[in-house]
Amino acid sequence: MDLAQSTVTLILIFSFAMIAISLVIGVLASRRVKSDNDYFGASGLFGPVTVGLASTAGVASAFAIVGVPGVIYDTGSPMAWWMLSSGAFALGYMILGKKIRAIAEVRPIASLGDLSDARFNNNKVIKTLMSIVVSIACIGYLASQISAGSALFSHLLGVEPIVAGLIIFGLLTVYTIIAGEVGGLMTQAFQGFIMVFASVIMIILFFRMTGGFSTVAASVAEAGTVTGTNGVTKELGPKFLSAWGSMKGSMSFVWMFVPFFGVIAQPAVLARMYAIKDPRELPKAAFVSGIAHMFVAFLAVTVAYGVLHMVATGEVQPLEHPDTAVYVFADKAGVFAQLMVYAAVLAASMSSASAYLTTTSTLLSRDLPRALSINIDPKNQRKVTRVFMAIMGLVAIVVSIYNTSLVGILGAFGYGTLVSAMFPVFLVGILWERATEKGVIAGLAVSFLLTLVTLTPFQWPGGLPGYFHVTCISLALTIFVSLLTPKQSIPEDIKLAMKL
């Protein structure tokens, strides 16, 4: 990506203007923080448009804009099914939204730990295990966002990735520390708008530049093996466009399964369900988030196929690294497209980073200590959490810089691990009254232990990623143990909320 200096200057001005606006929004948002519930959960404070855009920004991250095009370019069509996960927002709000928002009406809910307490009678083991596993997943997902943003600005500024990460995400950490979840949610809504606007522009450019998917499919199918003057070879052809692409069918199925169901299990989605001011506006929030995500998802798909078309026709050399696909497409589309894409990548990285930074720090500094009976003076709770935010921000920056995985693969680890930890507690637990504390503990304990295994070189059978096995095992065990253990009483107010 060799850009003219004038283009680099424009991109930097545009990008830093967006960072400055985000910083201002985050600082101004601190005025809305009146209580711990506001700081940690932004409970009942925002309308459907803000909540919907923030939900999209939290989920459709650099994993979407950088990682997904990279995976499609690398392996073919299967990851394109990821676009269907836009419908998961409506599904999530439909099956969980009313219940979670109703629980927030009858109990003080400011975090995922509070939600767990309300459903499972303040069970400390559940809260401990959930806090640990979700934090591990969030660090992986957070690192994937920082990796994408740091690589981008390392290239533009001509500095080491660690320096770029400290500059960009250091500023993000500052405004998140100041305003907590309120500031995070408001800046995410702004960044979500930037992502949607950029997506619309890039989708239009895709059709203008390529002539549409029929032209792209024909060129890729006919290309066969393409070897560039850079010495890189790309295998194309009809098989590459099949439902399985260059992967095994079982692995391709995972790429379809995990993103769709993973959306429902995202903290950035669940937490927004109790952030909405009026419960009657939940359908509007679902609509806004689903439509916004659809545009961002379609951007990822069109960019990937656009680059494949360019490689097939010889317009660009086969890529040395798949994660550069979105930048290669933007560079060919012109300066305006470059401004849009670089701004979208930055917005995606920052929005998800702030969402998972607040989630992780709240779990580790507030929910986990309470579960372990460690009493922190309420007057000092925000200070402790702010320290954790600073520490977690630094840890995630370091992890992201020294991890060599593709952005999409690193993001998928966090995505999949969140599913294995969140489903037993919040999906099974809230949708199924028969779920018992022992059943959920069994599912979470296995999720925790097997998640540690996925971090080792251990090879799971079938060539499937570890988090897929972990999710299936933890869900099955949660249900099985719940059926074997006595049914437990649920507080009447929580039971009524669950029946909505």
Q: Give one DSSP letter per residue of 287-328, joined into a string.
A: HHHHHHHHHHHHHHHHHHHHHHHHHHTTSSPPPSSGGGHHHH
Distances (CA, A) of 408 to 189, 414, 416: 23, 10, 12
pLDDT recorded at residue 176 = 81
Segment 456-460 shows an average pLDDT of 79
Range scoring the smallest mean pLDDT among 132-141, 189-198, 335-344: 132-141
pLDDT at 293 over 80: yes
Confidence of residue 197 (pLDDT cuts 50, 70, 90): very high
For the cut 70, the answer to whether the pLDDT of residue 411 exceeds it is no
Q: Residue for token digits 């990623």?
A: 465
Residues 6+ apart with CB under 8 A from 498: 99, 103, 119, 430, 431, 433, 490
pLDDT at position 406: 46
Of 100-109, 117-126, 447-456, 472-481, minimum mean pLDDT range: 447-456
pLDDT value at residue 481: 96
| Portion of the chain with pLDDT greater than 70, in percent | 94
Angle at which helices 5-29 and 161-210 pack, to 10 degrees? Answer: 110
Residue 444 has pLDDT above 80, yes or no: yes
- The pTM of the full predicted model, rounded to 2 decimals, is 0.86
Lookup result for tokens 């372990």: 372
Q: What is the mean pLDDT of residues 139-163?
A: 73
pLDDT at 127: 92
pLDDT of residue 6: 79
Band (pLDDT 50/70/90 cuts) for residue 416 is: low
What's the rounded mean pLDDT across residues 429-437?
93
Average pLDDT over residues 231-244: 86
In terms of average pLDDT, the best of 127-136, 239-248, 461-470 is 127-136
What's the CA gap between 236 and 308, in Å, rounded? Answer: 9
Q: Give residue 71's pLDDT.
A: 85
Give the pLDDT mean for 39-53: 85
Per-residue confidence band for 52, with pLDDT thresholds at 50, 70 and 90: very high
Q: What is the mean pLDDT of residues 239-259?
A: 77
User: pLDDT of 475-491, one tens digit each?
Assistant: 999 999 999 999 988 98
Looking at residue 483, what is its pLDDT?
96
**How much of the chain exceeds pLDDT 90, in percent?**
26
Q: Do the Cβ atoms of 49 and 55 come closer than 8 Å?
A: no
Query: What is the CB neighbour count within 10 angstroms for residue 170?
Result: 13
Task: Tell me which range, 34-38, 66-70, 370-374, is most confidently predicted by mean pLDDT.
Answer: 370-374
Residues 182-204: what's their mean pLDDT?
90
The residue with greater pLDDT, 79 or 99, is: 99
Q: Over 60: is that where the pLDDT of 425 sits?
A: yes
pLDDT digits (tens, 9 = 90+) for 13-23: 888 888 888 88
Token readout for 412 is: 């998928």
When pLDDT is averaged across residues 346-372 and rounded to a whole number, the result is: 85
CB 347 within 8 A of CB 57: yes
First-to-final CA distance of the chain: 53
Q: Select the more confidently predicted residue: 280 or 348.
A: 280
Mean pLDDT, range 370-393, rounded to an integer: 86
Mean pLDDT in residue range 138-161: 72
Pick the closest to residue 85 from 70, 100, 98, 68 (CA basis).
68
Token pair listed for 134: 């979700």
Task: Find the mean pLDDT for residues 186-190.
Answer: 89
* Residue 341 pLDDT greater than 80, yes or no: yes
Q: What is the pLDDT of residue 477?
A: 94
Amino acid 413: pLDDT: 59
pLDDT above 70 (res 404)? no
Structural tokens at position 296: 């961002």
- Token pair, residue 9, equals 């200057």
State the pLDDT at residue 408: 47
